[in-house]
Chain A
Amino acid sequence: MNTKNRNLVIGGLAIAIVIAILAPFLASSNPDGLESAAESLGVPESEAVFESPLPDYAIPGMEDNPWGGVIALIFGTILVVLVMLGLAYIISKKGNGQE
């Protein structure tokens, strides 16, 4: 990865992490469009079919602490970047150096 691209990744990731830090403090906890429509139409809440490790972007046991959300979101942000980079390099011919 050349310097220009490294700067792009660092800069872009920095912006994403700032959003991840702010979101637990600033994001509205109101129901989203779909949940709100479901409430208005009297659809009961449903159970997830399996227990995810960090449900609702919170660390179990510290659901009320926004910093738990910050950690969960930063973890997710870095995970997304790594999965995307890894997958892209594996599947792209050019990323593998094959033309």
Chain B
Amino acid sequence: MHIPDGFIPLWQCAIYWFIAIVAIGFALRWARENLDEKNIPLLAVLAAGIFAIQAMNVPIPWGTSGHMVGAALIAIIFFSPWAAVLVLSIVLILQGLIFGDGGMTALGANIVNMGLIGGFVGFYAYKVLKGVGRIPAIFLAGWASIFLAAIACAIEMAWAGTFPLAEGIVFMGLYHAVIGVIEGVISVVVILGIDNVRPDLLADWVSSSKKEALQ
């Protein structure tokens, strides 16, 4: 879903850059108040894992492929959508600067879609769905995070005049509804894996060491 250069007019890019910079400000404030010796290592290895897994494009039907984004995962583990903004911003900045993945002019939009929208949708979807059970809630939060980020991307493409609105939403929605299954499954696997070795590092609402997560 990394938007390249040339898909969004520069004046609209500036708006997304502005939103992204404000969001990064909030993310840095979250980091200052919530990161400590205990959770920084997990945050750093998850960022690295997200960078690596974003290179693992999985084939989906219609000659298309997709990869997970990871924002919901981070927001759930660290109990904050701002954590997702922080991690995805770092990953997207390095991808754009060094690997040409996502245009530098579109970097703000990419941070807004994958970090901000992905993180907030993942966080609040898990919050709302936690009652149905931890595992289905993680899966659905992952699915919804990438699906709605893609819909937002399609709307931005329509505003930019690059995609027609209806067709853009249909294509982006269809592809990312499938990619969302990958996102959901990997999010569940990663959280259960961490829960297995270091449940103390997961936020209370998702850690099996806390009754709150299993009610």
Contacts and interface: CB of A to CB of B under 8 A. Distances in A.
A64 interface: no
Contacts of A62: none
Given A20-B55, A23-B55, A43-B162, A92 B35 contact: yes
Nearest to B53: A19
Contacts of A27: 55-58, 65, 67
Interface stretch (B15-23, B98-106, B121-129, B137-145): B98-106
B5 A85 contact: no
Contact of A12 (B45, B63, B96, B154): B45
A85 B105 CA distance: 26
B90 A46 contact: no
Interface size class of A (residues with CB under 8 A): 35 or more
Contacts of B162: 38, 43
Interface in B16-47: 28, 31-38, 40-47
Given A20-B55, A47-B5, A73-B55, A88 B40 contact: yes
Nearest to B5: A49
Contacts of B3: 34
Interface size class of B (residues with CB under 8 A): 35 or more
A36 B95 CA distance: 20
Contacts of B91: 80
Contact of B99 (A30, A31, A55, A92): A55
Interface in B154-199: 154, 157, 162-164, 167-168, 171-172, 175-176, 179, 197-198
Nearest to A21: B52
A17 B52 contact: yes
Contacts, number: 215
A76 to B, nearest CB: 6
A7 B33 CA distance: 25
B98 A79 contact: yes
For the complex, would chain B's binding face be called helix, strand, loop or mixed by DSSP majority?
helix
A80 B47 contact: yes
Most chain A CB neighbours (cut-off 10 Å) among B31, B176, B179: B31
A36 B63 contact: yes
Contacts of A34: 1-3, 150, 153, 172
A16 B48 contact: yes
B66 interface: yes
A95 B56 contact: no
Interface in B95-137: 95-101, 103-105
A98 to B, nearest CB: 10
B215 interface: no
Nearest to B163: A41
B104 to A, nearest CB: 6
Contacts of A40: 167, 171
Contacts of B46: 12
Given A30-B57, A32-B57, 8 more contacts: A27-B57, A37-B157, A37-B172, A40-B167, A84-B43, A84-B48, A85-B40, A94-B35
